[in-house]
Amino acid sequence: MTISEAERGAMRRALALAATPGVPLGPNPRVGCVLLAPDGTTIAEGFHRGAGTAHAEAAALAEAGEAARGATAVVTLEPCNHTGRTGPCSEALIAAGVRRVVYAQPDANPLAVGGAGRLREAGVEVVGGEMIDAAQAINRAWTFAIARRRPFVTWKFATTLDGRSAAADGTSRWVSSRAARLDTHRLRSLCDTMLVGTHTVEVDDPELTVRDEVDQPLAVQPLRAVMGLRDLAADRRVLNDRADTVHLRTRDPEEALARLHALDRQHVFLEGGPTLAKAFLAAGLVDEVVAYVAPMLLGSGTSAVANLGIQTIADALHLHVTDVTVLQGHDGEDTNVRLTMRPDQRRN
């Protein structure tokens, strides 16, 4: 079944609505919806504003009122067929008299799946898969977490050209430039969890909050997760009231991710030291790598990752480079390299 140019344009608009700045990144997917009249003109728009609020379709239907009868709903995600904090979007569309639904991404959530089938049962025309790649990109972490039943893991580290994260005396402030640190905060804000080990908390005492260019914490903060068996001193900054914190008393990366998944966490920003990085890499539980490479040499000091047990070049972990950016500031420059792990070197 083909779609019209008006529907394609409406899907582009729905994707833009789904990506509206300020919408929480989880636990619900970001969704946009546009309602079209039979002549292809826009009747109403809506987008999901976060868990507990109206879904995109419901928001658009509320704006349209009776004008929704006979309309086409263009939506970035298959309408849900589930009653949770809000009712099923499939039933809302049927009740409103919508005659046709065009959606981009199928809903893989086992709790919500089946909306397209329910719509067809009620006699509504349904077309799926339009601009699916763009829709999946908006909800990359949500899509991954639903399919894999664990959060997507981004490992971030700062290093010198010779792979050192700290000097021989333990000093590491600052390996990276201010521009790199600001970029780190930008990436933190795109995740729902920041994860470090107990050793990092003990030695570095990080606050693990997202801050702006004048070093002020933002209003909405990711969860701070600390992994490890040892107790945390009560005066550690990660335990202050600027964000929620969970202590994952385990050394097993798989168990830690399972616990975070149970908390509806979908994207973990791994910022721990070399030992924690080794544990996740060895377990095949790193999906993306963000490296800030400073133009300096130390020759000795702490490596960015602990010994992985690799003895020969044939066993090296190979990554795909997806982006390279030079970050410049008044105190120096860094090269930001983004990479993904090869499918054969990470666990599904």
What pLDDT is stored for residue 7 in this prediction?
Answer: 96
Higher pLDDT, 347 or 31: 31
126 and 249 within one domain: no
Q: What is the percent of the chain with per-residue pLDDT over 90, rounded to a whole number?
A: 69
Q: Where does the pLDDT of residue 36 fall: very low under 50, low under 70, confident under 90, or very high at 90 and above?
A: very high
Considering only CA atoms, which of 323, 318, 324, 325 is closest in space to residue 341?
318
285 and 162 within one domain: yes
User: Could you give the CA distance from residue 81 to residue 60 in angstroms, rounded to a whole number?
Assistant: 17
State the burial class of residue 313 (Cβ atoms within 10 Å of its Cβ: 0-12, 13-18, 19+): exposed
Considering only CA atoms, which of 178, 183, 159, 107 is closest in space to residue 292?
159
210 and 135 within one domain: no
312 and 202 within one domain: yes
Rg (CA), the chain: 23
- Mean pLDDT (whole number) for 315-332: 85
pLDDT tens for residues 150-165? 999 999 999 998 999 8
Alpha helices in 247-317 (DSSP H): 253-262, 274-282
Question: Which residue bears the tokens 């009747």?
Answer: 43
DSSP-derived secondary structure letter, 80:
P
30 and 11 within one domain: yes
pTM: 0.87
Q: Where does the pLDDT of residue 14 fall: very low under 50, low under 70, confident under 90, or very high at 90 and above?
A: very high
Give the end of a domain, one of 140, 159, 187.
Answer: 140
Question: What H or E segment, with its residue span, contains residue 58?
Answer: helix 56-64
77 in Cβ contact with 66 (< 8 Å): no
Joined together, the tokens standing for residue 145 give 């977490």
Considering only CA atoms, which of 70, 92, 71 is closest in space to residue 80?
92
User: Could you give the CA distance from residue 69 to residue 58 in angstroms, rounded to a whole number?
Assistant: 14
What pLDDT is stored for residue 87 in this prediction?
Answer: 80
Domain harbouring 56, CATH code = 3.40.140.10
302 and 231 within one domain: yes
Amino acid at 17: L
197 and 107 within one domain: no
Q: Which residues are known to be catalytic? A: 57
User: Could you give the CA distance from residue 49 to residue 53 in angstroms, rounded to a whole number?
Assistant: 6
Give the end of a domain, one of 99, 120, 140.
Answer: 140
Domain harbouring 261, CATH code = 3.40.430.10
126 and 61 within one domain: yes
pLDDT tens for residues 89-102? 999 999 999 999 99
184 and 78 within one domain: no
Looking at the structure of the chain, the number of domains it has is 2
pLDDT tens for residues 49-85? 988 889 999 999 999 999 999 999 999 999 999 877 7
Give the end of a domain, one of 140, 159, 186.
Answer: 140
**Structural domain harbouring 85:** 5-140
Joined together, the tokens standing for residue 33 give 């919806």
166 and 128 within one domain: no
- Annotate 272-310 with b (16+ C-beta within 10 A) or e (fewer): bbbebbbbbbbbbbbbbbbbbbbeeebeebbbbbbeeee
323 and 296 within one domain: yes
Q: Where does the pLDDT of residue 214 fall: very low under 50, low under 70, confident under 90, or very high at 90 and above?
A: low
Order of strands, sheet of 223-227, starting from the edge strand that comes earlier in the sequence? 245-248, 223-227, 193-197, 267-270, 152-160, 288-294, 332-341, 319-329
Name the phi and psi angles at 315, rounded to 5: -95, 5
Sign of the C-alpha dihedral computed for residues 100, 106, 107 and 108 taken in this order: positive
256 and 162 within one domain: yes
pLDDT tens for residues 219-256? 789 999 999 999 999 999 999 999 999 999 999 999 99
- Mean pLDDT (whole number) for 132-141: 94
Q: Where does the pLDDT of residue 330 fall: very low under 50, low under 70, confident under 90, or very high at 90 and above?
A: low
Q: Above 80 in pLDDT, residue 126?
A: yes
Residue partners of 77: CB distance under 8 A and separation at least 6: 29, 31, 56, 103, 104, 105, 107, 135, 139
